[in-house]
Every structure is written in C-alpha cells, then in structure tokens.
Chains A and B, each alone.
Chain A
C-alpha cells in the first residue's frame, strides 16, 4: 500500500491564481480530511468527507473547495490564491472503525506571492 499520497510536494503561486492539491489513498478509507499547518497555529481542519459524494466544512474553509467523486481521491481547490493561504497542507484518511488511527500524507508546501 502507498498509503496517503499528495501532489505536488512544493508549489509557488501568484496572488489570484487557482490550483488543485491532489490527495489519494489506497486503503479504501471512508473518511478523508484536509488540514493546514501554520507556525504558532497548529493544524486546523479545512474540509472533510465521510464518504464519496459527502463533504463538510471544517474550522477554516473559506477560499477552498472540495469534492469527493471517488473513495480514493479528495482534491482541494484554491479558487483565487491569497498570501494568507501560504501554508503546509496535509491530507489524511481513516476507516470508519471507532479505534482506527488517522493516516497522514507527506504534505504540500504552498507559497503564495
């Protein structure tokens, strides 16, 4: 199993550009999430999904869109990048079992100029 994979690893955008961060998992997990990690702020939940076709907002959803058309993939779209979205983005997944752990991807480091 590859686990949770994220692409790209690094990205530089200009203000106003749009892009999609890719996330995929091969563990047939129902739950997938996107977090951002900022110095002094810790990890904060952006959006999450409890299954294909079902998504919901987390703590900091503004400026981001998600969709979940398949179990495996959960892309995060930045509609119009802003410098405040400079961060490290982590995708995570887990099964529906109560005692199952959360698995994280390696992260995407995004800089918006």
Chain B
C-alpha cells in the first residue's frame, strides 16, 4: 500500500525567505506526482504536476522536483509572501493512473 509522508507538518517563516517542503512515498512505481494548495475551509488547488518521466516542474516562484528512485519530491518556494500561507499537499498517482494517495500536508505560515 502506498504511503505518502510530508515533512515538516508545520512551518512558520518570515516574509522573503526561501523554503523547501518535503514529500516521500514508499512505492516508487508511481505514474505522476502532484502538489496542491489548500486554504482554510476551501477546496484544493493544483500547483504543479510532475510526470513520472520528468525530474522537475516550475511555475513562477514554485519549483517541484521528483526523484522516483529514492521516493522523494520537494517543493521549493522562492521569496515567500504572506499570501503563500496555506496547507500544501503532496499526492501520488497510483496504479492505472486512477487513484491519488495524499500526504497529510505541511501547514505554512508566512509572517509579514
């Protein structure tokens, strides 16, 4: 059974810092990996999707990397802003590309 772990569970940083969120998964036979953002009381918004054949994806100040062999992904946020405060969820696509397994998330607080 696939298990996804996210470290740290919570993170508090001052505005402007660069930061890294970590995600690890137990079964390297994944299809794709996806990072989501969730604001309190809201649904999930997709940030980045990395296909299994790719090593990284970038969108603005966000960069996500994938190392399938070691079962790890990182989400790098450059020059953090208070508006980045949210919970960040990592999820991996499993067999048949039909199911997503989520980590429990990293709660990020960026203070002005």
- Which residue numbers of A lie inside 8 Å of B, CB to CB? 31, 33, 35, 40-45, 48, 50, 56, 58, 90, 92, 98-99, 101-107
Chain A residue numbers with a CB within 8 Å of B96 are 50
Q: In chain B, what residue has the closest Cβ to A107?
A: B43
Report how far A40 CA is from B104 CA in the complex, Å. Answer: 7
Given contacts A31-B98, A40-B104, contact A90 B49 (CB under 8 A): no
Chain B, interface residues (CB within 8 Å), range: 20 to 34
Q: SS class of chain B's interface: helix, strand, loop or mixed?
A: strand
Given contacts A43-B89, A98-B31, A105-B43, contact A48 B105 (CB under 8 A): no
Q: Are B104 and A99 closer than 8 Å at their CB atoms?
A: no
Say yes or no for B22: interface residue by CB 8 A criterion.
no
Given contacts A48-B98, A105-B43, contact A42 B49 (CB under 8 A): no
- Which residue numbers of B lie inside 8 Å of A, CB to CB? 31-32, 34, 36, 42-46, 49, 51, 89, 91, 96-105
Q: A42-B103, A45-B99, A104-B43 are in contact. List 12 more A-B contacts (CB 8 A).
A: A40-B104, A42-B102, A43-B89, A48-B99, A50-B98, A90-B44, A99-B49, A101-B34, A102-B34, A104-B36, A106-B43, A107-B42
Report how far A104 CA is from B96 CA in the complex, Å. Answer: 20
Quick one: which of B44, B51, B101 contacts A104, CB cutoff 8 A? B44
Report how far A48 CA is from B101 CA in the complex, Å. Answer: 13
Across the A-B interface, the 6 shortest Cβ-Cβ residue pairs: A42-B104, A101-B46, A104-B44, A43-B102, A104-B43, A106-B43
